[in-house]
Structure 1
Amino acid sequence: MTRKSVLIVEDEIFVALDLQMTFEEAGWDVAGPFASIEQSSLYLKDHTPTCAVLDVRLIDGEVFPVADVLSQRNIPFVFHSGHADGRQLAQRYEASAFCQKPCLPGKLLNELEKLSDRADPKSSEEVRASA
């Protein structure tokens, strides 16, 4: 079974490191954390993560250019923000999820597992077959 990978886009260092540790402990490969649109966009030019966690407000603007690329490539993601309106984000990015900050990193992990299983039905079949 292929390991899942998550792109973390978060400019608050302690939140970013907490998310990184949570995903690594769950057996995921972690890309980042990246604190800017620029860093995230450069990463996405040559890489395709399984899914992503996106803070909305970053050091160089709002994360929407990154979310647009992820949407175009059908890569599921969760917005993780204390300043955004989850309903507006859901209207703009129907396939995404929203977790209001602060939330437990495990909740983000669960949301991403659900989204990535929906995006790749093979991964949930592999999990069932290995059980």
Structure 2
Amino acid sequence: MRQDVRRPTVLLIEGEPLVGDVLVEVGYRVAGPVTSQAEALAWMAGAAPDLAILDLPLRNGDGSRLAEVSRARGVPFLVHADDACGATACPELRAAPRLTKPAWHRDLVLVLGQLAREARS
């Protein structure tokens, strides 16, 4: 079940916990950070976030399975990736908004807000 639309839940698949702190400060609920594709998929098996941030490269996987599951479940996500990480493993990753590390936290918040608005319309 989806969370309250006024305070969307973001699944944070990210190695940097500071990103989660910033998201909480601007009003998001944060699940995570989780640090692997397996951990994120396990979390999604029992819950549905409203949005997700997918940090690439992942500890165990290229992110394609997580991207496919997110799209199938209607969870908009953005890719937060190292410059060297191609994010070309699957069409879902290529089509997602992408911010290159290190991204300004305000840019992450702006892109998440845009994804949330698009998901509501």
**TM-score normalized by the length of structure 2:** 0.86
> What residue ranges of structure 1 are gaps of 5+ in the alignment?
122-131
**Structure with more of its chain in helix, by fraction:** 1
CA distance in 1 between counterparts of 2:55 and 2:70 reads 14
**1:25-64 alignment runs, 5 A limit:** 25-64=25-64
CA distance in 2 between counterparts of 1:21 and 1:57 reads 21
SS in structure 2 of the partner of residue 58 of structure 1: coil
**1:1-131 alignment runs, 5 A limit:** 2-10=6-14, 12=15, 16-82=16-82, 83-85=84-86, 88=88, 92-93=91-92, 96-121=96-121
TM-aligned CA deviation for residue 84 of structure 1: 2.4
RMSD: 1.8
Provide the identity percentage.
26
SS in structure 2 of the partner of residue 62 of structure 1: coil
8 A contact 1:17–1:33 mirrored in 2: yes
**TM-score normalized by the length of structure 1:** 0.80
8 A contact 1:52–1:75 mirrored in 2: yes
TM-aligned CA deviation for residue 95 of structure 1: 5.2
> What residue ranges of structure 2 are gaps of 5+ in the alignment?
none
TM-aligned CA deviation for residue 46 of structure 1: 1.0
CA distance in 2 between counterparts of 1:95 and 1:70 reads 13
**Corresponding residue number in structure 2 for 1:124:** none
What is the count of residue pairs matched by the alignment?
Answer: 115
Residue identity matched to 2:91: R
CA distance in 2 between counterparts of 1:74 and 1:92 reads 15
TM-aligned CA deviation for residue 105 of structure 1: 1.4
